[in-house]
Structure 1
Amino acid sequence: MAQFQVPSAEVQMRHLIIVFILLLHLCAAPACSSEAQEESLAKDPVTLVDARQDFNTKIVRQEEGSVLPEVPVESDFELVRYKSAVGPLAAYVTKDPGDGKRHPAIVWITGGDCNSIGDVWTQQPRNNDQSVSGFRDAGIVTMFPSLRGGNENPGKREGFYGEVDDFLAATEHLAALSYVDPKQIYLGGHSTGGTLVMLVGATTDRFRGIISMGSVAAAEQYGGQFVYCDPNDESEMRLRSPMHWLHCVESPMYVLEGASGNWDGAIKLMADANGNPKIEFFRIPGHDHFSVIAPLVEIIADEIVAGQIKLNRQSLLNLR
């Protein structure tokens, strides 16, 4: 797991420029009304599944291979391999608690290099707990899958494209475990992982609930990072950008971000345009892109254990 770094001032400025260009592109009229945004972003008649069906992505660059995933020692996790279209891929899954029960579970993708996994069992600071330890503390089975091209996995990184299929394959592995309730599987991720889970959620109704923290609206907002197709190819980037596929989401989805994180120009763009009642957007005051993770995970974990996520603005006030 590569930790996501706070963007430099130069990178932040580039992101603002990209957002401005996106807004110009999405709104052909001189004045960009909320109705025009909704029509452009949330009313695309084509589904993401249909758009992907006959599309052949072209990968133009690759990053150096990563290292083998660490083997957890004295941990609640075990290292496993799950079957995928490109071959066996590594994942961390919490062990069978041995109580003979089926438990709710979540598939979680971290930020940064979300194709690779690393130490998620060592205690992390509360202001940036990307191990989402609150889920395990609540007794929720947690799976961190690596994806194609990450660690020393087979396949090539595709950046928010083929990884969607890997995520679905990981979910089937998790659902088959004897100590997991296959009807109580949730999906979640942070930062780049948050972007990916929005795309996964637009292709299936498999999940009981979906949590996306700190996503971007469009893959262009990464400034060329984390994508391996031609970033100037609109067809490629469109299929990697959640803002175009909001209308496809069928499971309850919660998109959240700290008020001083990626809200303005990213999540707010989707929130303003969204016409899908299955998706709710929450701006969390008093938190940034990282500090928002731990308190949100604790609240969400309690609701998963209770049987269903039911976030509302009142329950998200004064998070610490």
Structure 2
Amino acid sequence: MADGRKTSFTRSFQGVLTRRAFLAASSGLSAAALLPASASAVAFPVPEMLPLEREDYADARRRFRTDLVNKGPSPEKSEPLGTPPGARRVFYRGGPDGSIELIAWLSHYQPSAKLKPAVVFLHGGNATGEGHWELMKPYWEAGFVVLHPSFRGENGQAGNFSGFYDETADALAAARYLEALPGFDKDRLFLAGHSNGGTLAILAAMTRKFRAAAPISAGVNAWRFFSRYDREIRFDAADPREFIMRSSVCFGPSLKCPTLLLRGTEERPFDKDHQLLIDRARSAGVSIDAKLLPGNHNGVVPAAVLESIRFFNEVAA
């Protein structure tokens, strides 16, 4: 990474940059990506009480297909992906049908008789870059194999951006890719992610079982998210099911592994939504907790990565 980009990336963890500026610093995004979200141009009803779905999320996904009324790439303009230091560039078949070839970065490791734990880390925003990969360093230093996937429509890749739904299928496909590799303990496959990646991590952990999940600054309420970022709506906003299938809070009992929700003390207050998810998951006997760490939305990430390592080791002990 060039010195100027390193400096800008560091400042993002000091609270200087906004969410979109952080993406620009870490992913090489254009100035257009720094524009603020528009005033809501898409009208959709927001429920007073967030619905609780009785159907398991994995079963619901098998029956549901998102209706994309506006097809195209990710809303974040970004550079094509290279290969950052400490990573090996690999390709996985994204989506439920494996029809899209997507790039992922895999940490260097040598398979041995002593199996290693592994973590799939899902990046924030709607594009990735070397700045995101730098955040993974504590994982491989702690002995984890790390896979950092990109998603459909990002960084000039094929596929249509959907706003969390089909990207969840990509995240699950990336986990299957990692499972097929030699040298790691399949009983210690963990999942983490930040911001949009945290949102995807919860949805993925509701679809299949990981050893544990640590979403960082995750959104659990799609109505809340898309009312703020309405430019990212690509689906039929008149269909409430589209929002339900992107809202993990509606499927709390579907969580399939121990989960720790991590968030910065200076972030916008999502306590009510997170607590509702926790209450609904615990009603089904799921081990789930939340922890606040010092910092804002971007600044909390380094400490949260370290906390996720502690949590994963504790669960696996």
Q: TM-score, with normalisation over the residues of structure 2?
A: 0.75
**Residue in 1 aligned with 2:4?**
none
1:284 equivalenced with 2:292 (yes/no): yes
Unaligned runs of 5+ in 2: 1-8, 21-33
- 1:181 aligns with 185
2:101 to 88, 97, 105: 88
CA spacing shift, 1:227–1:143, aligned 2, 3 Å: farther
2:105 is paired with a residue of what secondary structure? strand
Contact 1:148 1:156 in 2 (8 A): yes
Match of 1:69 in 2: 81
SS at 2:171's partner residue?
A: helix
**Residue 24 (structure 2) aligns with:** none
Pairing of 1:41-80 with structure 2 (within 5 A): 41=52, 44-61=53-70, 62-63=72-73, 66-72=78-84, 75-80=85-90
- Residue 100 of structure 1 and its aligned partner are, at CA, apart by 5.3
CA contact (8 A) 2:38 2:231 kept: no
Q: For residues 202-254 of structure 1, what are the alpha-carbon distances to aligned partners after superposition, in whole Å with 9 as ceiling and x for unaligned?
A: 1112x100111111221122232544212342111110111111111121111
Tell me how far 1:105 sits from its aligned partner. Answer: 0.6
Q: Which residue of 1 aligns with 2:249?
A: 243
Q: Residue 142 of structure 1: which of 140, 146, 163 is its match?
A: 146
1:90-145 CA distances to partner (integer Å, 9 max, x unpaired)? 000001246553210100111111xx33214775xxxxxxx233212212111110
**Change beyond 3 A, Cα 1:266–1:52:** same
Determine which of 8, 13, 24 is the counterpart of 2:48: 24
Using the TM superposition, give the Cα deviation of residue 163 of structure 1 relative to its aligned residue in structure 2, in angstroms: 1.6
**Residue 254 of structure 1 pairs with residue 260 of structure 2:** yes
The amino acid of 1:159's aligned partner reads G
Answering whether residue 125 of structure 2 is matched by residue 112 of structure 1, we say: yes
Aligned-residue offset at 1:189? 0.7
Give the conservation status (yes or no) of the 8 Å contact 1:255–1:279.
no
- Aligned-pair distance for 1:69? 0.8
Paired residue total: 275
Matched to 1:106, the amino acid is V
User: Quick one: distance in 2 between partners of 1:306 and 1:284?
Assistant: 18
Which of 271, 275, 279 is residue 278 of structure 2 equivalent to?
Answer: 271
One-letter code aligned to 1:152: G
For 2:110 and 2:314, the matched residues in 1 are separated by: 19
In 1, are the aligned partners of 2:67 and 2:235 still within 8 Å (CA)? yes
Residue 107 of structure 1 aligns to a residue whose secondary structure is: strand
Could you tell me whether the CA contact under 8 Å between 1:104 and 1:305 is conserved in 2?
no
Q: How much has 1:299 moved relative to structure 2?
A: 3.2
Do 1:186 and 1:209's aligned partners in 2 also have CA atoms closer than 8 Å?
A: yes
Q: 1:290 to 1:229 in 2, by over 3 A?
A: same
Distance in 2, Cα, partners of 1:122 & 1:172: 20
1:298 aligned to which of 287, 303, 306: 306
Root mean square deviation, CA, Å: 3.1
1:89, distance to aligned residue in structure 2 (A):
1.0
Relative distance call for 1:303 and 1:6 in structure 2 (3 A) is closer
Name the CA distance, whole Å, in 2 between partners of 1:13 and 1:256: 29
Paired with 2:273 and 2:18, the residues of 1 have a C-alpha distance of: 17
Which of 192, 195, 202 does residue 199 from structure 2 map onto?
195
Is contact 1:132–1:293 with CA below 8 Å preserved after alignment? no
Matched, 1:215 2:218: yes
1:185 Cα deviation (Å)? 0.7
Looking at structure 1, the residues matched to 37 and 289 of structure 2 have their Cα atoms a distance apart, in angstroms, of 25
Q: 1:91–1:117: 8 Å Cα contact kept in structure 2?
A: no
Amino acid across the alignment from 2:224: Q
The residue type equivalent to 1:220 in the other structure is W
- Structure 1 contact 251–278 (Cα < 8 Å) conserved: yes
| Contact preservation (8 Å) 1:77, 1:121 | no
Aligned identity (percent) is 25
- Which has the higher mean CA deviation after the structures are superposed, 169-178 or 254-263? 254-263
**Corresponding residue for residue 133 of structure 1:** 137
Deviation at 1:259, TM superposition (A): 2.6
